[in-house]
């Protein structure tokens, strides 16, 4: 299993399928071999059975010949060695016995005394015939070796019998020559498998008859199986036949003739009979192996595809894409379905968690920026406070000499001895000193640290102060300022704070006009009554505010100005001031395309006599 651990699923399936299928393959091979051995044994049994049957029939036939011979040897014509009579008699026998080549009668000295076949060229004189001598010597029937028939001139083996006279002496030898070629025809007619052969040999292995290619092999020696006893079960063997063909043999002894009959069936018959069985076995094994293999591979492929899908989704998640993976419609099994569901919900949870984290990080970033801005603001405020202290000190110090200059100028004015030119100069010194005193007073008031308690304020005074402060600057920027004050009602607030709000409106308007590069810069400060409120508007013909920026105008630190120019605090501080006095502050575009910033405060005659709200430095919206 360790081998499989690091492999892809398809290979795992393949390897485990091979491991599981190995026993099937081994079993199929074992079965094929068993079948081969069984078929071989079957063919050998078939050969043995044919051998046993053939031997039994042949043996019986030879015994039949023995019986016939025992009748013939008692025939008077035979005992009398009457040639004419014998020839006729034997010819009749030959007609009835197709397997007998010839019936011959010889005198004990070997001379031919009668023949079933017509004996033309046979010399009627004494010849040495070995089997005749054996019969005469033993007085018993004898079976000859393979000889060439003296009359038929064909190869034959002879069954020889003694012919006795009435006294028992041997007067002749009767022999039956077996027609080997007929025997071969008989063998050939037996229903044997293609290529099979029946061979008859004598005990020395000399071929007497053969069902195939007899002419070629009769008289040659065949390495026959070791002879068995007559009537014993045929002996099986295998090997090359004399014609070179591989055969399975069964041999048995023909008892009467003392010959060996061998039936040989070619080995190829075994293979030919095996082949259909092997084909069937092969087909079954192939189906048994391939069907599960393909099924497992198919399952493995689907499983692998679905796991790859999940792996791809996991990799996407690892790379930061938390979108939930697409669901596979047809999952392989319930476990994979559950895994997919768990995976999808895990991805969704991760996405939600990351969104929450992103939100938190964003909030923390904004808080950090706010904190840093507030820190900068505090530093700036402290610096402004220091400047304020300095300015009020300088103003106080300058005020005394200016008072002295003014006092001295007035005293000089009263002198009678001065020329009109000198009086004019003194008047100029007086007005300029008065102007300087006024500027110093404003500076001292504006830089004051404490806004001081609210009082009833005339907004026209506030406007005058602001105009006084910005007049020269606006003129330098070629901006025409128009003041339209139709309200005479007071509001309840701190003068300096309202001055800060209006000054901020005016500076913003001037910067917007200048940034847009408008040739005809125009600004109107309008004061009017709106019901129980007094409304102050600063109208300009600058570029106005884009709709996208409108909602952010009064947020702290919102600015569109370059770094160093804008802090984004002016409007938010103004918002806080106006709100703290129960007023409203706002913006709208105007017909010239520019901006109108305004605030409204309750008029003092309509104001509730309640204490003003506590104001915070920055009021977030
Ligand atoms: P700052 O002037 O430091 O930018 P403010 O709070 O006074 O801060 O103004 C915020 C922003 O409002 C400005 O940066 C500008 O974009 C816009 N704004 C204010 N007044 C005007 C105006 N009159 N015309 C066009 N835009 C304006």
Which residue has the CA at smallest separation from atom 20 of ligand 1?
508
Binding site membership of 541 for ligand 1 (Cβ less than 6 Å)? no
**DSSP E strand stretches across 312-454:** none
- Is residue 354 a contact partner of residue 323, using CB atoms and an 8 Å limit? no
Residue 559 Cα to ligand 1 middle (Å): 6
- Return the higher-pLDDT residue of 436 and 559: 559
| In the predicted structure, residue 262 carries a pLDDT above the cut 70 | yes
Binding site membership of 185 for ligand 1 (Cβ less than 6 Å)? no
| In the predicted structure, residue 505 carries a pLDDT above the cut 90 | yes
Residue 445 Cα to ligand 1 middle (Å): 25
Nearest to 242 by CA among 268, 271, 192, 205: 205
Binding site membership of 588 for ligand 1 (Cβ less than 6 Å)? no
User: How confident is the model at residue 173, as a pLDDT?
Assistant: 94
- Is residue 158 a contact partner of residue 146, using CB atoms and an 8 Å limit? no
Residue 10 Cα to ligand 1 middle (Å): 68
Token representation of residue 536: 């102050």
Which residue has the CA at smallest separation from atom 8 of ligand 1?
568
Per-residue pLDDT band at 502 (split at 50, 70, 90): very high
387-447 and 455-618 in the same fold: no
Token representation of residue 7: 């492999």
**Phi and psi at residue 92, to the nearest 5°:** -65, -40
Any idea what DSSP says for residue 487?
A: -
Helix 570-580 to helix 495-516 angle (10° resolution) is 150
Secondary element (H or E) of residue 443: helix 420-446
Q: What is the distance between the alpha carbons of residues 318 and 343, in angstroms, rounded to a whole number?
A: 13
- DSSP for 211-238 reads SSSHHHHTTSB--PPPP--TTSPPEEEE
Per-residue pLDDT band at 598 (split at 50, 70, 90): very high
Which residue has the CA at smallest separation from atom 23 of ligand 1?
509
556-574 burial by CB neighbour count: b if 16+ within 10 A, else e? bbeeeeeeeeebbbbbbbb
Binding site membership of 513 for ligand 1 (Cβ less than 6 Å)? no
**DSSP E strand stretches across 108-256:** 112-115, 142-143, 147-148, 155-164, 170-179, 197-202, 207-210, 235-240, 246-254
Q: What is the distance between the alpha carbons of residues 90 and 96, in angstroms, rounded to a whole number?
A: 10
Q: What is the distance between the alpha carbons of residues 585 and 137, in angstroms, rounded to a whole number?
A: 164
Binding site membership of 47 for ligand 1 (Cβ less than 6 Å)? no
| Tens digits of residue pLDDT in 133-149 | 899 999 999 998 888 88
- DSSP for 310-353 reads HHHHHHHHHTT--SPPPPPSS-SSHHHHHHHHHHHHHHHHHHHH
602-609 contacts: CB < 8 A, separation 24 or more?
A: 602/491, 602/492, 602/532, 602/533, 602/534, 603/489, 603/490, 603/491, 603/529, 603/532, 603/533, 603/534, 604/456, 604/489, 604/490, 604/491, 604/492, 605/489, 606/532, 606/533, 607/491, 607/492, 607/582
Looking at the CA of residue 569, tell me the nearest atom of ligand 1: 6
| Tens digits of residue pLDDT in 462-473 | 999 999 889 989
Q: What is the distance between the alpha carbons of residues 91 and 172, in angstroms, rounded to a whole number?
A: 18
Token representation of residue 504: 């901020």
User: How confident is the model at residue 451, as a pLDDT?
Assistant: 59
- Is residue 180 a contact partner of residue 136, using CB atoms and an 8 Å limit? no
User: How confident is the model at residue 485, as a pLDDT?
Assistant: 94
| Tens digits of residue pLDDT in 183-218 | 888 888 888 888 899 998 887 888 888 888 888 888
Residue 290 Cα to ligand 1 middle (Å): 82
pTM for the full model? Answer: 0.48
Binding site membership of 498 for ligand 1 (Cβ less than 6 Å)? no
User: How confident is the model at residue 480, as a pLDDT?
Assistant: 95
Looking at the CA of residue 559, tell me the nearest atom of ligand 1: 14
Residue 217 Cα to ligand 1 middle (Å): 131
Write down the residue that tokens 């004419």 correspond to.
84
Binding site membership of 224 for ligand 1 (Cβ less than 6 Å)? no
| Tens digits of residue pLDDT in 530-551 | 999 999 999 999 999 999 999 9
Helix/strand/coil for 163? strand
Secondary element (H or E) of residue 106: strand 100-106
- C-alpha 320: how far from chain center: 23
Which residue has the CA at smallest separation from atom 16 of ligand 1?
560
Binding site membership of 115 for ligand 1 (Cβ less than 6 Å)? no
| In the predicted structure, residue 584 carries a pLDDT above the cut 90 | yes
Q: What is the distance between the alpha carbons of residues 581 and 538, in angstroms, rounded to a whole number?
A: 19
Percent of the chain with pLDDT over 90: 31
Per-residue pLDDT band at 418 (split at 50, 70, 90): confident
Token representation of residue 410: 């007035």
Per-residue pLDDT band at 619 (split at 50, 70, 90): very low
Residue 544 Cα to ligand 1 middle (Å): 10
User: How confident is the model at residue 446, as a pLDDT?
Assistant: 55
- Return the higher-pLDDT residue of 352 and 12: 352
Residue 142 Cα to ligand 1 middle (Å): 150
Residue among 510, 559, 593 to mutate when testing ligand 1 (max atoms within 8 A of CB): 559
Which residue has the CA at smallest separation from atom 13 of ligand 1?
559
470-504 burial by CB neighbour count: b if 16+ within 10 A, else e? beeebeeeebebeeeeebebbbbbbbbbbbbbbbb
Pairing of strands 235-240, 155-164: unpaired
From residue 10, alpha-carbon distances to 1, 2, 299, 308, 490 in Å are 15, 16, 9, 12, 90
- Is residue 48 a contact partner of residue 261, using CB atoms and an 8 Å limit? no
Domain 387-447 listed as CATH 1.10.150: no
Q: How many CA atoms lie within 13 A of 204 on its CB side?
A: 8
| In the predicted structure, residue 248 carries a pLDDT above the cut 80 | yes
| Tens digits of residue pLDDT in 270-319 | 888 888 877 887 888 788 778 877 887 788 787 778 788 888 888 888 88
Domain 455-618 listed as CATH 2.30.30.790: no
Which residue has the CA at smallest separation from atom 14 of ligand 1?
559
End-to-end CA distance of the chain: 68
Q: What is the distance between the alpha carbons of residues 467 and 476, in angstroms, rounded to a whole number?
A: 14
Binding site membership of 567 for ligand 1 (Cβ less than 6 Å)? yes
| In the predicted structure, residue 378 carries a pLDDT above the cut 80 | no
Residue among 504, 537, 555, 571 to mutate when testing ligand 1 (max atoms within 8 A of CB): 571
Q: Where are the domains of the chain?
A: 317-379, 387-447, 455-618
- Whether the CA torsion 269, 270, 274, 275 is positive or negative: it is negative
Q: What is the distance between the alpha carbons of residues 263 and 222, in angstroms, rounded to a whole number?
A: 13
- Whether the CA torsion 462, 463, 464, 468 is positive or negative: it is positive
Binding site membership of 568 for ligand 1 (Cβ less than 6 Å)? yes
């Amino acid at each position: 299993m360790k081998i499989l651990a690091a492999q892809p699923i398809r290979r795992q399936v393949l390897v485990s399928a091979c491991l599981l299928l190995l026993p099937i393959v081994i079993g199929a091979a074992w079965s094929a071999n068993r079948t081969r051995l069984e078929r071989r044994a079957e063919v050998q049994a078939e050969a043995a059975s044919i051998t046993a049957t053939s031997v039994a029939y042949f043996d019986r036939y030879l015994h039949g010949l023995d019986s016939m011979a025992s009748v013939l040897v008692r025939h008077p014509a035979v005992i009398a060695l009457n040639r004419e009579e014998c020839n006729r008699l034997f010819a009749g026998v030959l007609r009835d016995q197709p397997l007998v080549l010839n019936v011959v009668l010889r005198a004990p000295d070997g001379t031919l005394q009668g023949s079933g076949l017509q004996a033309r060229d046979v010399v009627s004189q004494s010849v040495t015939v070995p089997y005749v001598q054996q019969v005469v010597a033993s007085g018993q029937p004898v079976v000859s070796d393979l000889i060439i028939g003296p009359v038929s001139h064909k190869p034959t083996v002879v069954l020889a019998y003694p012919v006795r006279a009435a006294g028992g002496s041997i007067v002749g030898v009767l022999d039956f020559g077996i027609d080997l070629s007929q025997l071969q025809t008989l063998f050939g007619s037996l229903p044997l498998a293609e290529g099979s052969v029946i061979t008859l040999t004598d005990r020395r292995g000399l071929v007497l008859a053969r069902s195939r290619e007899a002419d070629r092999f009769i008289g040659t020696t065949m390495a026959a199986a070791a002879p068995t006893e007559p009537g014993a079960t045929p002996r099986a063997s295998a090997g090359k036949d004399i014609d070179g063909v591989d055969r399975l043999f069964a041999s048995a002894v023909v008892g009467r003739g003392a010959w060996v009959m061998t039936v040989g069936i070619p080995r190829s018959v075994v293979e030919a009979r095996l082949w259909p069985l092997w084909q069937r076995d092969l087909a079954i094994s192939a189906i048994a192996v391939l069907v599960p293999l393909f099924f497992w591979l198919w399952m493995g492929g689907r499983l692998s595809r679905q796991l790859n899908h999940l792996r791809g989704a996991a990799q996407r998640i690892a790379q930061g894409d938390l979108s939930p993976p697409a669901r596979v419609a047809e999952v392989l099994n319930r476990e994979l379905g559950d895994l997919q569901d768990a995976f999808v919900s895990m991805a969704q949870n991760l996405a939600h968690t990351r969104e929450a984290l992103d939100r938190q990080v964003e909030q923390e970033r904004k808080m950090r920026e706010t904190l840093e801005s507030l820190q900068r603001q505090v530093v700036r405020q402290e610096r402004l406070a220091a400047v304020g202290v300095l300015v009020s000190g300088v103003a106080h110090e300058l005020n005394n000499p200016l008072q002295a200059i003014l006092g001295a100028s007035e005293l000089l004015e009263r002198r009678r001895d001065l020329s009109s030119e000198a009086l004019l100069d003194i008047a100029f010194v007086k007005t300029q000193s008065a102007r300087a005193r006024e500027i110093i007073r404003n500076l001292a008031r504006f830089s004051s640290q404490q806004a001081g308690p609210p009082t009833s304020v005339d907004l026209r005074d506030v406007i005058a102060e602001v105009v006084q402060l910005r007049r020269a600057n606006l003129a330098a920027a070629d901006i025409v300022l128009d003041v339209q004050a139709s309200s005479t009602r007071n509001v309840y607030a701190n003068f300096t704070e309202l001055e800060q709000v209006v000054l901020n409106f005016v500076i913003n308007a001037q910067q917007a006009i200048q940034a847009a590069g408008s040739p005809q810069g125009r600004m109107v400060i309008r004061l009017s009554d709106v019901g129980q409120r007094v409304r102050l508007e600063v109208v300009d013909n600058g570029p106005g505010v884009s709709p996208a920026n409108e909602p952010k105008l009064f947020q702290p630190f919102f600015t569109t100005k370059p770094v160093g120019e804008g802090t984004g605090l002016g409007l938010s501080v103004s918002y806080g001031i106006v709100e703290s006095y129960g007023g409203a502050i706002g913006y709208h575009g105007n017909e010239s395309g520019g901006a109108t910033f305004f605030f409204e405060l309750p008029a003092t005659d309509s104001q509730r006599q309640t204490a003003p709200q506590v104001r915070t430095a920055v009021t977030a919206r």
